[in-house]
Copies of this chain bind each other. A is one copy, B any other.
Amino acid sequence: MKQASGKSLISFAGGMPNNDLFPVKQIDEIYNSLPENIKKLCFQYGPTSGYPPLIKSLENYLKNKGLDVDDNRILITTGSLQAISIITQEFVNEGDIILTENPCFVGALSVFETYGAEVHSIPIDKDGIDIEALKSKIETLDRKPKFLYVTPNYHNPAGIIYTPERKKELLKVLSGTGIILLEDDAYSDLYFNEDEKHLTKAMKSFGVKDVEIIYTGSFSKILGPGFRLGYMLSSKEIFAKAESVKQALDACTSNFMQILANEFLAQQKLEPYLAFLRGEYLERKNLLQKHLKTYMPKEITWNEPKGGFYIWLKLPPHIKSTDIFKETVAKGVVFVTGRTFDPSSKKDDRLRLSFSNMHKEQIEKGVIILSETIKKVLENSKIAL
């Protein structure tokens, strides 16, 4: 079967904001009111560590999240994927072990693979990483993993948020092992309910002394991926080496993008924009939940996310999401298959539905097509039995 034309495609696939949600008006205002001397700076090289006023603004932003910006240093990166790449270059030689969650953000997996790391993954449940599995993995390995990479807040693709208890337990397991924790926090501003904001508290802000934590953040979900802006917060020692790796990667991140992002923060435009975004994503999440409840066969289960972009649909174990995909794509509906997020590219009984990049009016139609396809595949599998 041929793929439906791009024009009519209903995409649950992309983990990015919808083009209609970007703060275009705000950035227009910012750009057009930049003083001449600052506008000229947009065109110039900047320091490798980042545009100093943006570092200042980020310090305030991170301080508000409870992070210690005095004993740590911020490095601005060309997207937070660059931060992951820098950290991997800093700590990992070919054949070294990296621990990840399973499922795991696929961008990070592709970095780890590029640098020849040996990835061992640990399952997660609805409350976070499986603590017993993590302990036993560390015990059975013959070498110390270089770091554990996790995305605790509104996990991509699983959509969950770690409970505060699970975060504490995780830190306890790592405590004293010398395994660095790489805490990727791209989604924490995108909670749906103000009352649950406290759940997004970063492990790096817990004040645990005997776990080395590198924290990464991104402007991709709160401003736009097209800015290619991220950052890492780490100890001064890790920062110093990371800065020199960054120097060799692209000399510095675009001053142009940093200056616009800095004004977005400094002029207090972020918070009202986030309020708008949260409302938009909540509405899309609610629509997707409602239609899934209406149309999905009873064998299918999923999480109800409290923030972020993702619903992680569970199929019966004998059904592969790749088989579902082959059918839906022909009918104009796409998503990302489960095995994409398995470091060993096998586990395929899940599928990731992203609601961030959806037009609201398309959601129901998309769910109907998806549900019907799943029903059909389920029935065929029963006949086959």
Contacts and interface: CB of A to CB of B under 8 A. Distances in A.
A40 to B, nearest CB: 4
A20 B113 CA distance: 44
Contacts of A254: 78, 226-228, 254, 257
A45 interface: yes
Interface in A282-322: none
Contact of A82 (B28, B245, B249): B249
Contacts of A257: 254, 256-257
A248 B44 contact: no
A44 B31 contact: no
A interface bracket (residues with beta carbon within 8 Å of B): 35 or more
A39 B24 contact: yes
Nearest to A19: B40
How many of these chains are in the complex?
A: 2
Interface string A1-43: 0000000000000101101101110011001100011011111
A253 interface: yes
Contacts of A249: 78, 81-82, 85, 249-250
Contact of A252 (B27, B228, B248): B228
Contacts of A41: 19, 226
A137 to B, nearest CB: 24
A247 interface: yes
Interface in A252-280: 252-257
Given A85-B248, A228-B254, A40 B24 contact: yes
Contact of A43 (B14, B24, B43, B252): B24
B244 A256 contact: no
A32 B31 CA distance: 10
Given A226-B256, A257-B254, A248 B43 contact: no
Given A16-B44, A40-B22, A81 B251 contact: yes
A171 interface: no
A81 B246 CA distance: 11
Contact of A248 (B28, B111, B248): B111
